Structure 1
Amino acid sequence: MSGFDANWLHQREPFDLAARSGTLAAQFCAAVASSANGPLRIIDLAAGAGANFRALAPLLHGDQDWLLVDHDPVLLDAQQAQIARWATDQGWSCHALEGGLSVDTGSARWRVRGHLLDLAQSLEQLELAGFDGVTTTAFLDLVSAAWLDRLGALLAHARRPLLATLTVDGQRDWLPRLPADKFIHDAFLRHQSGDKGFGASLGSAATPCLADRLTAHGYLVRTARSDWHIGADQRDMLLKMVEESLAVACATEPTASPLFAKWSDERTAQIASRQLLLTVGHLDLLALPPA
């Protein structure tokens, strides 16, 4: 499952790029390169429209072979279009090949293929040992503890490094503050724990939960903050976050809808007058297998 449309993924991508931990990304790239024999092979879980590929491929250098896994055929189609547009914008050549695309930067060639798979039901169909590294982004807060147990077991068996970026940690700081912020936030946290197709979602507990499981498997685990900082001039994103917060709060606590609507009106007025700032908390996680 993804639960996201391509337009939203496109809107959030610049904020994700600015927030990602450069230190953990560099350490992941070094770990992958040290074990590779031939083109680097990366598998991206819940790949959406291919943002992880666009963020990490230029950092990895050299020839690469990416498998982008998602259950949504619409997003798999969006991968092709967005990667081709991105490559062209960078001045690189891009052409279709069977099952995907080939991007030629002049100094390296990157093969990118989409793969349709329901990760909730069929995670164990993936042969992680056939890849040099595993990535995922903005995904783990949607899954259950039982699903993380399955992922941890597969990683431990394959002994492959993992870079999991931009997992929600539950923090949302609106400035200036309003009395209704607490009620909005409580509703958001309750919504996070709902079933998103993988069982009861871990939400903000996902990163520490996975860290504990992989540490128990002998992995070296590091985390770093990767918060969004949405400024007063970034009005479209602020409006999107207010609209999302209102919809989630009303769905979670319908009886309080008038309170939430008033909160939304106040926040929208602040956006119009460029008075609103928002920090959305995320964590990146790097897990390196035992030597």
Structure 2
Amino acid sequence: MAKRKTERPDPSSLGLPRVGVDSHAHLDGAGEDRAMATPEAIGAVLDRAAAAGVAQVGHVFLGPAAHAAGRELFAGRDEVFFLLGIHPCDAAKAAPGDVAAMEAAFGADAGLRAVGEIGLDYYWDAGTAEVQKALFRDQLALARQLDLPVAVHSRDAAADTLAILDDLGFAGRPLVWHCFGGDAALAAEIARRGFHLSVPGPVTYAKNTALAEAVAGCDPSRLLLETDAPYLAPEPWRGKRNEPALLAFTAVRVAGLLGLDPAELWRRTGDNARAFFRL
């Protein structure tokens, strides 16, 4: 018997208005697909996003060298804003002057709206934990100095991440827990500190019940949506390369969990992102 073909509807068919924001994406393929690292390919992705109701996209530069090399890929695409940070998995190879180079980049590029993604990752490399912590603290200090929002990456490291944020007095400051994949208890700890959390495509996965329950209990005023493209495509595009247009499917799922109309959830999370990043 032939394998049944999965139906993959066009996200534009959901009819969402162009007010949504993808708060976190790697539009250049994040090193996974260099074919994406051209203005033409990125432009096509952004055009599909616009057709699906995405008004703005946050592109993440993973370090100052990536920003210097890739900024011109986005010339003329005013719907893209930028985040810049050194990922914890790159902590061991970060150069001594990288944080200073980040400071210079923020001073020169008004499109840079947040420090991120920064944080701790013990899933891939727990052996560099102390180096990661030191770099995380340095980048948090930069964000405070420049009065910028922060996008945190935390994988298998929630306790240490929260401890550092508490130690540095970050409660109440503009901070988003990027690609949230935790349970209701972690969501409550994030909310208690006045932080935002950003919901990715895996909330649409049938077996991801803990994440669904966590999102269902969240205050919509503290939610952002993201793709983390090219990773983590939502159903019904799971297993394919993710892109901002597919954020619409995540929005429909989150709206259902919160008992909101999809267009209303789409608008509210978009407004949250615009306020958070000062767009």
User: TM-score by structure 2 length?
Assistant: 0.34
User: TM-score by structure 1 length?
Assistant: 0.33
* Higher Cα Rg, which structure: 1
